[in-house]
Structure 1
Amino acid sequence: MTALDPLVRPGQGRGLADVFRHAYLLRLLVNKEIQVRYRGSVLGLVWSYIKPGVQFLVFYLALGVFLGLNKGMANYPVYLFSGIVLINFFGEAFGNGARAMVANGALIKKIYLPRELFSVSTVWVALIHFLPQLLILLIACFAVGWHPGLLQIGSIIVGMVIMVLLSAGLGLLFGVANVFFRDSENIVDLITMVATWLSPVLYVWTMVQKELPAWVFPIYMSNPITVAVELFHYAFWLPTTDGATDIPPHLLTQWTPIAVVISVLVLVVGDLAFRKLEGHFAQEL
């Protein structure tokens, strides 16, 4: 530090800006998370295939076969799996991000490094686990005649951006809350469970429009997870059908920009809360 450098309060970071300045540390944390998670595991990363596969099979049998959703919808397995892989990413990134501070409490108390790295590293780990699931989804889509255009490819990217921003922001917020109130983990589990059913992962969005009052639908579509899931349906599932099924009205022109803005706001609020309270982490942990 030179005489011209501004003084920085000890233990006080610059928020998410520090993540970009410490990319090497981020890579180390991601590698550590992967190694710790699969230490002593026989199958290792193969669990990234097995878990969503079993989950898909259970939901497909329960909803597609027993409740008959498979009969009235073309390529229902593609519809179902394209939503499952996205909600799985959200659940892992958000859940592990919320637990990151407590899980790394011993390291936080010993040395100082940008604490946001712990939360952001969980998002990267979730992306690593997301890629094998995406590969399976792509194989299934090509098998049933997937023919995407540039708009569909763009929808995949935007859908993932929404989920990355939202899960990172919520991970930061609940990561802070979990330091001070350990029962926040239970709230995280509830949010993940509710998010699966409050977005069209297992059912069609038209059911919400038909069965609930008209004022509910705009609220439903204001959920960034709903928009991201529908963007994945638009990108992966819709091109495999005859086009008779429609996407939610104004999905690309109205609800997608709203979802992006909400996700960015959640990330900004999470970063501000984190920066304000991170100085107390060591003593609370």
Structure 2
Amino acid sequence: MSTSNVKSSGLGLSDWEQDALDARNAKRCGAEMPVTRIQSKSDWQAIDFAELYVYRDLFRYLVRREIKVRYAQSAIGVGWAILQPLFTMLVFTVIFGRLAKVGSDGAPYALFSFAGLVPWMFFSNAVTDGVNGLIGGASMMSKVYFPRMFMPLAANAARLIDFGVASIVMAGLMVWYGVLPNAGALALPWILAMMFLTASGVTLWLSTFAIQYRDVKHAMGFVVQILMYAAPVVYPASLIPEAYQRVYAINPMVGVIEGLRSGWLGTRVLPWDLLLIGSVSAILLFVTGVSYFNAKQRVFADLA
């Protein structure tokens, strides 16, 4: 082997010049050296679907890990997905249904409140888990590269298990009260997609802020509690004056909750206007959340 094939360290070359020289030397020896080019990305990037597809197995692993960790060493396991909305429903029924006499659009207040709590519990728990999951995964981010958004989105996807279990309980309550779903239930896939996009968009925004400002993590419980009263969980959207209905619908969870109640309980005709406005808001939340998250993810390992 000629002296030109020896690695020329200590010659004052920059890293990329040294790599280029090594590649040329390897080519002369008949060998092939893989070259990886790492480039900084511009701010506010869209989703790289090709990259997400390559790492799809990692995403499935993270979802399974979230589910296992959540119920590890838990006495009742997935039963918490039943008890949390069920006991909250009982409290709401006594306070808002019996004492405050809040309307329920003709449905039994217990069913009415539970139908609002099922999507709301998914939203609040998914956002909280997603924000905490990204902060808790700081050690992983500093060791290996992978799409960072997988961490909050995996926490959100894992919460769909709880949503499914609570929906089964909702079906049991409907049978108990003798209430049948109507044709509006066919819009369930649309409503679920809208719900997931909303939770994911808010999670990406808040998790990005939480990495930079730890106050966000401490304020999460208070913020989620306040947001619940900005959605029609304990009261019907019909209490909002007609003139403000479309402004109110900018909150995507309004269309989600009212849409589910319409399909499950028949409290109203399927609210197309609330769903359409909410769908636009949900998509904007998700797209801008992804873009802002991608713009800031290169500093996550340093700040976490």
Q: Same fold (TM over 0.5)?
A: yes
1:277 aligns with 2:301: no
**Separation in 1 of the partners of 2:300 and 2:99?**
49
What do you get for the CA RMSD once the two structures are aligned?
A: 2.7
Unaligned runs of 5+ in 1: 239-244
Cα pair 1:169 1:269 within 8 Å, conserved: yes
User: Which position in structure 2 is the counterpart of 1:76?
Assistant: 109
The amino acid that maps onto 1:167 is A
9, 31, 40: which one aligns with 2:39:
9
Higher relative contact order (CA 8 A, sep 6+): 1
1:174 aligns with 2:193: no
User: Which position in structure 1 is the counterpart of 2:252?
Assistant: 224
Distance change (3 Å), C-alpha of 1:247 and 1:223: farther
Where 1:110 maps in the other structure, the secondary structure is coil
**Separation in 2 of the partners of 1:150 and 1:88?**
25
Q: 1:1-285, aligned counterparts within 5 Å?
A: 7-9=37-39, 15=47, 17=49, 18-69=51-102, 73-154=106-187, 156-209=188-241, 215-238=243-266, 246-247=268-269, 251-252=271-272, 254-285=273-304
Where 2:145 maps in the other structure, the secondary structure is coil
Residue deviations 1:217-243 (CA, integer Å, cap 9, x gap): 3321221111111001101111xxxxx
**Separation in 2 of the partners of 1:60 and 1:73?**
14
The amino acid that maps onto 2:210 is N
- State which structure, 1 or 2, has the greater radius of gyration over its C-alpha atoms: 2
Residue deviations 1:146-165 (CA, integer Å, cap 9, x gap): 433443221x2222111100
**Separation in 2 of the partners of 1:147 and 1:40?**
38
**Separation in 1 of the partners of 2:33 and 2:280?**
40
The amino acid that maps onto 2:263 is A
Cα pair 1:199 1:226 within 8 Å, conserved: yes
Distance change (3 Å), C-alpha of 1:158 and 1:106: same
Cα pair 1:176 1:274 within 8 Å, conserved: yes
**Separation in 2 of the partners of 1:32 and 1:71?**
39
Cα pair 1:169 1:268 within 8 Å, conserved: yes
TM-score, with normalisation over the residues of structure 1? 0.85
Aligned residues: 270
TM-score, with normalisation over the residues of structure 2? 0.80
